[in-house]
Every structure is written in structure tokens, then in C-alpha cells.
Chain A
Amino acid sequence: MKLFKGERLFHVFNNLFLLLIGFLAAFPFWNILIMSFNEGRDAMRGSIYFWPRKFSLEAYAAIFNESSLMHATYISIMRTVWGTLLGLLCTAVLAYLLANRELILRRSMLFFFIFTMYFSGGLIPEFMLIKELNLYNSFLVYIVPAAINVWNVMVMRQFFEDLPPSLAESARIDGASELRTLASIILPMSTPVLATIALMIGVQQWTTWFDTYMFTSGTKELATLQGVLVNILMESQIQSMDPVQASRLEQSGSILTPEVIKMATITITTIPIVMVYPFLQKYFVGGLTVGAVKG
């Protein structure tokens, strides 16, 4: 198609504007990344924007030598792996069961689940419940209460309902059990929605700090990377407002500052996500919009 002169101008400006948006989205990540590779005391002088001034791996060396941080990383990985596996399994089975149009009391059943999406008991009763169930200060508190997210179940149920019903039907006629039908017929056809939900659960598990804060007493054994980051953040905020602390740091002569440790920790928590999500992009974009176009 031939472009008018005005059209061409529009495209140039449009592309430049979008480049600016892309830059704004990416710059903070880049800035934090290069700061984490800069020497700490030098970084305090400021004006480091696109490239480290004094390259240093001290911050990472300090983190990898700090056993509590390594343990927090381990806990974060464990909760993400187990949480995602358990969550995906529960979501898929429940979504499949609810996708059955013949289900007895289907409307009431759906209402029973969907109502919890819009009404919750609130923070305090949940806290009491976790204490009553003896989940307080246990690793299970990270994965069990999060095993079913009704919102995710409804997204997956919608996907299953849109699959041709004859497939499951023919499997049942051949004598396959419910779970067998799910595992061998439905799931292999559901990669987009499975990848989307797995990504959602995984990101949620990896990034949440709230359950560590609420449901553990702050013991080192259950600290997660995000929890450690919250502590570092709070501490650095207090320090930056406290002149005594700052001058003490000035005199100590250490090239490490809490600021670069913060940058390095942020980088470590962010990198796994940055490495994973672009590859799942085609799935989650499809998984999220399946209904929008038809609806």
C-alpha cells in the first residue's frame, strides 16, 4: 500500500514514541543492573546511568558468601517449584471437573467457588486460621493455601469448555476414567493455558513476600529472597535518613554499601523472571485473550 506523506510522518513519530515507552520500561532494570556491578563507594557519588564507572563484583561476592541469602534463594526456588507443581495440578483437575456441563448442581457449585473471588474474610481472620491450622512457621504455608486460585481455575475452565466436547466423550465411551481422560486427551491439547497458568503461579510464588511476613515469625529457615529484599529496603531507607549511620559508613572505608547490596539482590530476584517470560509470551497473550475476541 502506498503511504501518503502525512502517513509516513505519523509512522516515524509513532515508532519513536514507542521506542521511548520501551526505553522507559527497560531503563530502570538496566540502571539497577549496571549499578550492582559498580563499586559501592564510587556508586554513592552518583551520575551512573548507562554503564558502570568502576566495575566490581564485590556485591555479588558478598551475597554469595552470606549463607542466609543463599538459603533464602533456596527457599524461594523450592516454594516456586513445589508451589507451581501443586498449584497447576489442583487448578487443572478442578477446572476439568467444573467444565463438565452435565455436573449435578452445576450452578450452585460454580457460585460456591466464584463467590470467594469477590468476597473474603480479610487479613485478620486468615491470620487466625493459619495459626489454628498449625501452618504458622511451616514451609507448607507457602504452598498449601495458594494451591487453588479460583481466578486461575475459571480461566482454565473456560479453555476446557471451548474444546470440542466430542473428544472427552469418545474417551469416556472407550472406558477411560475421568483422570485418564484429563491426562491423555485434554491436557496435551491445552499447552497455551497450562503455560499461562504455570507462569502466573510461578511469578506469584517467586515475587510474593506477604506470606513470609504474615505467617512466619521471621526465622532465617523460612526467609525468602523477597523477604530479605524487603528487610534490606527498609534498612537502607532508615539509614539514608539517619546522618549518624551515613557518616559511620563513610568512615568505615568499606567499598561495599547497603545500596549496592540492594541493587545486586534486586538483580538476582529479577533475572530468573526476565529469562523465562519472553519465551512464554505467545502462550500467555493467547491464554489471556481467548475470551476477549469472542466475547
Chain B
Amino acid sequence: MLKLSNMFSMKQGVTTGYSQIAIVKKIKRQKVHLLLLLPFIAFIIIFKYIPMYGSLLAFREFSYRTPFGGDWVGLQYFKSFFNSPDFGYIMRNTVVISSLSLVFSTLAAILFAILICEVRNAAYKKIIQTVSYLPHFISWVVVAGMAMTILSIDELAPVNSLLLHLHLIDKPINFLGEADHFWPMVTGLNVWKNIGWNSIIYIAAIMSIDKQMYESAVIDGASRYKQIIHITLPTIMPTIILLFTFGVGYILNAGLDQQLFLQNPMNIRSSEVLDTYVLKYGLQQAAYSYGAAVGLFKSVVGIVLIVVCNYVCRKFLKMGIF
């Protein structure tokens, strides 16, 4: 997943100083190679670049005769989105939900990685790790189905009955049916689903730290806690910052599934995000041009954020993803 510094670096293989004849020779030599590449290029053009062209529908009136719209209407649909009463709270929800998820998932994964690396019993370590990956492999449909049962308002449902027994609450919490509980709940579920999987990269980074650093720290009398603060954390910090910065780049992707399945009329003011909005207005209500405008807005802001984040990482960390 993450070849941190040079996975996408395109600095290798730059061809300079070739004469035309050499290029022709090269093409001839790579004839089979290039022929094999053609179907893939065609595939990408059809399934990726044509929809990009199609997003111009945002500037056009929808028509049944041409797939990507007819008459040009300029910025009309963008204006109506920005001026609509929905714009404010949808942007707020999108940014808040993905920021909460990013911050807490990152912290949880780092903590989990540090603690699991301290375990001495290899079998125990392996079992905990394996179990921790489990939630990553299931769909949000399943997570939502589980959440509805386990977080149910019923005072005999697992979480509420536990909290009641511990006298932490007086009456059952309506996790699913109250707008105020949506953000904490969905953040909790995001952390639950991602903690194991996200820790893989941090565990690898910790394992690659030179053991001698710890040994000399022990000789100097550093405690376990001091070792974590002064050796482990600083060494994996570049990895953390890089992944975090790119998380910021994806801030408008709050995720479609979790919001859609956990959404209901009671919590809609806290749970509607850009993706669910496009689905509802753009497709279900067939406001195609409007939906395309919202989608294009999201894509453009997304790529600007990614380029900026990459620039920041390159400048300050001397690493980036492209």
C-alpha cells in the first residue's frame, strides 16, 4: 500500500539525449510490450477519463439524447449548491466526520502498534493481531447491522446493559436515534474497523528500528516509557506525519456506506455528507446535473488538497507520494 518515499516517484527511466533513430529502434524493440499496453490504456480512457469528461455535465442541462448533457448553463448548478441551505451543514458534517475519524484512527493505530510490539509472547501477539484485522474485512452493511443490535437503545442490548450495570448512565443511550450521538458513534466504529489494519504500517516501522538503540538506552537506565517517548515515537514520526497529511488530502471523503446505513430521519442533520447527498439528489431524485456539480466540486477540492499536502510533505519531510 505504501511505498512511502518512492512508490510513485517517476524520476527513474527518464530518457534524454536519444536521437530520433534510437527512439524508432526502441519502439521497434518494445513493439510487443506497447501492443500489450494498448488494451489497458483503452480501458482507462473508457472507464476513467470519459467520466472525467462527463463531469462537464455539471455545466450543462441534462438531456436524454446525449449522455453527458446538452445546453451549456455555466455555473448555475454550482451556484445553487453553494447557496442552498444544505451546503453549510453538509460541508460541516463531511469535514468533521472525516477529521474525527482521521485523528482518532491514527492515534489508536499508533498506540496499538506500540503496545503490541512490547508483547513478548509471540503466539499471543499473533492472535491479538489476527483478531484485530477482522473488522477491516467486513462491509459497512455488516458493521451497521451489528451496530443496530449491539448499540440498540434496548436496555438489555450489550453496550447499554453494560453501561447501566456499571452505573455510568441512568437510562439507555439512544446511539442510533439522536443527532448528537452520531459523530461519536461513527468515529468509534471507524476506529474499531481500522485500528488493526492501520497499525500494520506502524508495526512494520517499529520493527525496523535498530534494536541496539533500545539496548544502549537500557544501559543508560531509560525506562520503558522513556524508550517509547525518546526512541520509538521520533523514529516513526515521519511515517505518521506522511500518512496523516495524506489523510488530510482525503478530508472530503467521509465515506458513503457508513453514513448511509446508519442514517435515519432523527440524525440526518449530523449524518448527511457530500457522498450521500450526491446519491440522494443526483440519482434518486434524478437531478443529474446538480449531482454532477456537487461531485465535481468534491473531486476538484480533493485533488487540490492532495497536491498541497504532497508539496508540504516534500518540502518539510523530503518525502511524498508523487
Interface of A toward B, CB cutoff 8 Å = 6-7, 10-11, 14-15, 17-19, 21-22, 24-29, 31-32, 35, 45-47, 49, 90, 93-94, 97, 100-104, 106-107, 109-114, 116, 118-129, 131-133, 145, 147-148, 150-151, 154-155, 158, 177-179, 203, 207-210, 214, 226, 229-230, 232-233, 236-237, 241, 259, 262-263, 266, 269-270, 273-274, 277-278, 281, 285, 288-295
Contacts and interface: CB of A to CB of B under 8 A. Distances in A.
12 contacts: A11-B118, A14-B118, A28-B150, A46-B155, A46-B157, A104-B30, A120-B51, A121-B296, A122-B295, A123-B279, A125-B53, A289-B201
Contact of B142 (A35, A116, A269): A269
A145 B161 contact: no
Contacts of A229: 141-142, 145
Specify which of B138, B299, B319 lies most central, judged by the most chain A CB atoms within 10 Å of its CB. B138
Contacts of B123: none
Contacts of B124: 15
B133 A277 contact: yes
Interface stretch (B5-13, B90-98, B178-186): B5-13
B40 interface: yes
B112 interface: yes
B85 interface: no
A25 B131 contact: yes
B146 interface: yes
Contacts of A19: 128
B83 interface: no
Specify which of A106, A129, A269 lies most central, judged by the most chain B CB atoms within 10 Å of its CB. A129
B315 interface: no
A281 B158 contact: no
Given A47-B161, A178-B33, A21 B138 contact: no
A263 B149 contact: yes
B113 to A, nearest CB: 11
B171 to A, nearest CB: 16
Nearest to A214: B283
Q: Top 6 nearest A-B pairs by Cβ distance?
A: A122-B295, A121-B51, A46-B156, A291-B3, A125-B54, A295-B4
A129 B47 contact: yes
Given A125-B68, A273-B138, A18 B26 contact: no
A26 B131 contact: yes
Given A124-B55, A214-B283, 18 more contacts: A18-B119, A25-B135, A46-B161, A103-B30, A116-B44, A122-B298, A123-B295, A124-B57, A125-B54, A128-B51, A128-B57, A132-B67, A158-B3, A233-B261, A241-B264, A273-B137, A292-B205, A295-B7
Specify which of B13, B142, B149 lies most central, judged by the most chain A CB atoms within 10 Å of its CB. B142
Specify which of A27, A35, A94 lies most central, judged by the most chain B CB atoms within 10 Å of its CB. A94
Contacts, number: 292
A233 B200 contact: no
A277 B129 CA distance: 12
B80 interface: no
A291 B54 CA distance: 36
Contacts of B150: 28, 31
Interface in B1-53: 1-8, 10, 12-15, 23, 26-27, 30, 32-34, 36-37, 40-41, 43-44, 46-53
Nearest to B298: A122
Contact of B299 (A121, A128, A259, A262): A121
Given A106-B10, A289-B201, A291-B4, A236 B55 contact: no
Contact of B148 (A103, A178, A237): A237
A115 to B, nearest CB: 8
Nearest to B289: A124
Nearest to B142: A266
B54 A121 contact: yes
Contacts of B141: 207, 209, 226, 229-230, 233
A116 B48 contact: yes
A212 B120 CA distance: 46
B175 interface: no
B154 interface: yes
A203 B142 CA distance: 13
B313 interface: no
Contacts of B5: 295
